[in-house]
Amino acid sequence: MQKHKKKIIEEAEDDEEEANQVEENEPEYHQIELLQENGINNSDINKLKEAGFNSLESLSYTARKNLTTIKGFSEAKIDKIIKIVDEILNYKIQPSTVALQKRKKLTRITSGSKELDTLLGGGFESDSITELFGEFRTGKTQICHTLCVTCQLPKSDGGGEGKAIYIDTEGTFRPEKLALIAERFGLDPKETIENVYYARAYNSDHQQRLLVQVCALMCEQKFSLLIVDSATALYRTDYTGRAELSNRQISLGRFLRNLQKIADEHKIVVVITNQVVATVDGNAFGGNDKKPIGGHIMAHACQTRLYLKKGLKQNRICKIYDSPSLPEAEASYSITDRGIDDPQ
């Protein structure tokens, strides 16, 4: 029995060592130019870039049928590219210890509130989508602004050591707010604002197209955060009535899938905000008469869903509504002119 236990322990240690080696030798992503070394001409590579594919990972995460829409790409050419990508990335079934080691090395960005960070297991997690939903004045946009600053901090201070991209659909982005938050964390206000890239989306199609630019930027510079505030606002106005509900959900699902691909490919934190709607049929959501919009499409796309509620004065309450690893619990935080902080 003792020999059997010893063998199991030794095998586990070997798997952990292998996982560490895989993680250390694995680049963040593989440049799409590697295709040129394997017989794909530069013209085809440029077409892939124009379509939003800037790395081999982005190709591997895309369904084959979506590649057929690229002009000039035959079935044979697509099959050749897929084969090259599979050979270079060498995706295979691995021991779960490899996944465990990767999770240990995920980036976690501080919210600015110790209580909120504790609730989240250390901060906002990379490689996944975190949804913030709640009615107006619950702090969704304020959390987003704070994260745009804290993501630039060293990892030892709860940061991601990277820049941020902020996609604004409601006109609520305020760069002057970043300067005040930067001063609180000891960062240079001017440099902090310069490290936050901003785009205003004016319709749901434009919102989708912006992700192509996001992918290109992230292949050129180091980013650690992507914000979409709000992810659903434009879909509510572009698609109205039950007749367009199906098309709305399909389009929203495609947008959320692309966000997940960016999170996976670039190992960044993705945070989206969501609006709520009042329930009129008497079915209370979590003991409340408000529920997030987006239905099951939104629910299944986001790994962590945070329900924000109003508290006393400037204090707010964050409840973990859904998470694969965090228990259902609540924490209080405060909205200040210098970002999110512990309750006052």
Domain ranges of the chain: 1-105, 106-341
What's the pLDDT at 23?
44
Pairwise CA distance, residues 226 & 119, whole Å: 21
pLDDT at res. 283: 55
Domain 1-105's class? Answer: mainly alpha
For the record, the structure tokens of 338 come out as 């210098």
Burial of 291 by CB count in 10 Å (0-12 exposed, 13-18 middle, 19+ buried)?
middle
Residue 122: HSE in the Cβ half-sphere, 13 Å Cα cutoff = 15
Strand-by-strand arrangement of the 196-200 sheet: 196-200, 163-168, 223-229, 269-274, 128-133, 304-310, 315-322, 330-336, 339-341
Tokens of 177: 């707010």
Which of the listed CATH numbers 3.40.50.300, 1.10.1740.10, 2.60.120.10, 3.30.450.20 matches domain 106-341?
3.40.50.300
Alpha-carbon span 33 to 50, nearest angstrom: 13
Please state, in angstroms and rounded to a whole number, the distance separating the CA atoms of residues 254 and 246. Answer: 12
Cα torsion for 155, 152, 168, 70, to the nearest 10°? -70
Residue pair 332/315 in contact (Cβ under 8 Å)? The answer is yes
Q: What pLDDT is stored for residue 65 in this prediction?
A: 85
Res 110: pLDDT = 97
Q: Which two tokens stand for residue 231?
A: 């992810």
Q: What are phi and psi of 90, to 5 degrees?
A: 55, 50
Could you say which residues of the chain have pLDDT below 50? 1-2, 4-5, 7-9, 11-12, 15-16, 18-25
Q: Which residues contact 56 (CB under 8 A, 6 or more apart)?
A: 29, 30, 31, 32, 34, 35, 85, 88, 89
Q: What is the pLDDT of residue 4?
A: 47
3-state secondary structure of 195: coil
